[in-house]
Structure 1
């Protein structure tokens, strides 16, 4: 099975083509660029480069996996909208996967793992894992409020904010995304629902208040 993997939930703009067989997921080609301001400009060009390097066309993919966050609104939407458009154009299923799960899927750790990425506003998106199984989260909290009892290591972009041994990876990678979604790839895809975890910074303005006061003549 050939799987396109995309993620824009962090400052890393990630695109890859992964072969999934009995030996597990194998990266055929990938591009990962750390640029929090260029998700929209870089994602599709990177994916096209990936397909060229791997010697495949987009239509050769059997499925698409996309990181569903948690992540900031603007960046996360880019990956999910791109994946949805590709799925519709190619007639391929699109499977969302928690981006923190993708990091945990590639972490080499014995014991309980904390995964934390930057939620901005001095907060962290976090989840804890036993092996690759998520046992708590995802949530958003200030790093000082994240429970770390029982954790033996931390991975992810915000790992250094915790008093735990830091391990790789820092960002979701194509192989991790596919590994985290592997058990679901033969089933009906889950709805493409982004994990924002909190309200947007920008909101539509409400109804304007009248400048007139009650009883004014």
Structure 2
């Protein structure tokens, strides 16, 4: 098994390689505006760091969001393109699940990422890290009360959510995604297809007809 995993659903462009036993290499750059520029060089770098080539990869896994439209599509389109090139199957994993996988807390918790427009993408998890609700998009103040909150969405709106509730990692990591995917593959667990999780329409709109100007 050789898993190539990457995620572009948040400002973190992250990738890793996992051989079924451990993470061989990981790289992450936080830059919300350069997903398209950074992803392929990051993939090339982790493959080089791991001492493997793209043809050695047996599974390609991309974070499937939810996330901003443009960044999210960069990762998923790259996964599908690499799958077509190599013949290795491509899979999708909810990005919130990746943050949850790396979160250590004794009890149920939430994961929230920045959805812009003063909202967060979020999901709820049990003490094992299994998702039990969501994903959804809401105002920070509408999150279920009392539970700890991991992810950048919690930190961004800590004053609304409650600073005492903020825990865990800020962004998904390629290492966590690769380890989560390798575990699912070894167990024969089902995967989502590499399709984006959109919880609302993109910000871009098709221009309407030009307005008439009268004298």
TM-score, structure 1 as length reference: 0.87
Contact 2:79 2:194 (C-alpha < 8 Å) held by counterparts: no
Q: Tell me the number of residue pairs that the alignment of Structure 1 and Structure 2 aligns.
A: 204
Q: Pairwise mapping of residues 155-166 of structure 1 onto structure 2 (< 5 A)?
A: 155-160=150-155, 161=157, 162-163=161-162, 164-166=164-166
| Deviation at residue 11 of structure 1 after TM alignment | 0.2
Distance 2:210 2:70 in 1: 30
Counterpart for residue 109 of structure 2:
113
Distance 1:139 1:184 in 2: 26
| Deviation at residue 187 of structure 1 after TM alignment | 6.3
| Deviation at residue 188 of structure 1 after TM alignment | 7.1
Q: Structure 1 residue 191 and structure 2 residue 193: aligned?
A: yes
Distance 1:179 1:165 in 2: 26
Match of 1:134 among 131, 134, 159: 131
Indicate the SS of the match to 1:148: coil
Match of 1:203 among 202, 205, 210: 205
Counterpart for residue 143 of structure 1:
140
Distance 2:98 2:8 in 1: 12
Q: Which has the larger radius of gyration?
A: 1
Distance 2:35 2:207 in 1: 27
Q: Which has the higher helix share?
A: 2
Q: Pairwise mapping of residues 57-76 of structure 1 onto structure 2 (< 5 A)?
A: 57-76=53-72
Counterpart for residue 35 of structure 1:
31
Distance 1:104 1:11 in 2: 17
Q: Which has the higher strand share?
A: 1
TM-score, structure 2 as length reference: 0.88
Deviations 1:130-166 (A, max 9, x none): 02111111000010111134x2x21111222222432
Relative to structure 1, the CA distance from residue 53 to residue 184 in structure 2 (aligned partners, 3 Å threshold; closer, same or farther) is closer
Relative to structure 1, the CA distance from residue 171 to residue 37 in structure 2 (aligned partners, 3 Å threshold; closer, same or farther) is same
Counterpart for residue 48 of structure 1:
44
Gaps of 5+ in 2: none
| Deviation at residue 168 of structure 1 after TM alignment | 2.3
What RMSD, in angstroms, separates the aligned Cα atoms of the two structures?
2.0
| Deviation at residue 42 of structure 1 after TM alignment | 0.5
Distance 2:137 2:185 in 1: 26
Indicate the SS of the match to 1:158: helix
